[in-house]
């Protein structure tokens, strides 16, 4: 039972545990995984993604430590009922790191700045629809 949209690429330079962590964060942020929703067991997700269970444990533990997931002994792992806000400094670091990866991909495939910006805007719109009163 792989959450739709959670994939890993063993050829990617980003460690697999981090790909899983970022994928779960993306699914929670987009609303695909809602607060209180069960996430796949370590064993099931490891099987579905064809990775070592220890890799999934590492990703899940980091998400639990960040307050995004919670473990209910005997029941499983769930999206936290309330998602904690990310501190501004940590958010800035994460955005810079992601922007560098994205820019690297854009340069590698020969995309222009305009094309790159349009693709980013489209992806952002898909994941985080405009909130009332917010500029599009």
Mapping DSSP to helix (H, G, I), strand (E, B) and coil, where does residue 27 land? Answer: helix
Place of tokens 């533990």: 61
Instruction: Summarize pLDDT for 58-115 with one digit per residue, the tens.
Output: 999 999 999 999 999 999 999 999 877 777 888 888 889 889 989 999 999 999 999 9
The reported pLDDT for the residue numbered 2 is 57
pLDDT at residue 136 in the model: 44
- State pLDDT tens for residues 26-71: 888 878 899 999 999 999 999 999 999 999 999 999 999 999 999 9
Three-class SS of 74-132: CCEEEECCCCCCCCHHHHHHHHHHHHHHHHHHHHHHCCCHHHHHHHHHHHHHHHCCCCC
When the pLDDT of each residue in the chain is averaged and rounded to a whole number, the result is 87
* Rg of the chain over all Cα atoms, to the nearest angstrom: 16
53's enclosing H/E stretch is helix 53-65
Domains by residue range for the chain, with CATH: 16-79 (1.10.10.10), 88-127 (no CATH)
Taking CA atoms, 84 is separated from 8, 79, 126, in Å, by 25, 11, 22
pLDDT of residue 132: 47
Q: Is the pLDDT of residue 131 over 60?
A: no
Q: Which residue has the higher pLDDT, 129 or 109?
A: 109
Q: Tell me if the pTM is above 0.75.
A: no
């Amino acid at each position: 039972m792989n959450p739709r949209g959670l994939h890993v690429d063993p050829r990617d330079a980003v460690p697999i545990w981090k790909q899983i962590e970022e994928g779960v964060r993306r699914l929670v942020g987009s609303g695909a995984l809602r607060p209180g929703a069960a996430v796949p067991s370590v064993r099931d997700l490891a099987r579905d993604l064809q990775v070592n269970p220890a890799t999934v444990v590492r990703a899940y533990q980091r998400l639990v430590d960040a307050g995004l997931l919670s473990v209910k002994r005997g029941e499983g792992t769930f999206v936290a009922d309330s998602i904690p806000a990310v501190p501004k400094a940590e958010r800035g670091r994460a955005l810079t790191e992601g922007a560098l990866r994205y820019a690297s991909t854009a340069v590698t495939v020969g995309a222009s700045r305009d094309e790159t910006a349009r693709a980013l805007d489209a992806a952002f719109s898909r994941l985080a629809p405009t909130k009332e009163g917010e500029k599009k």
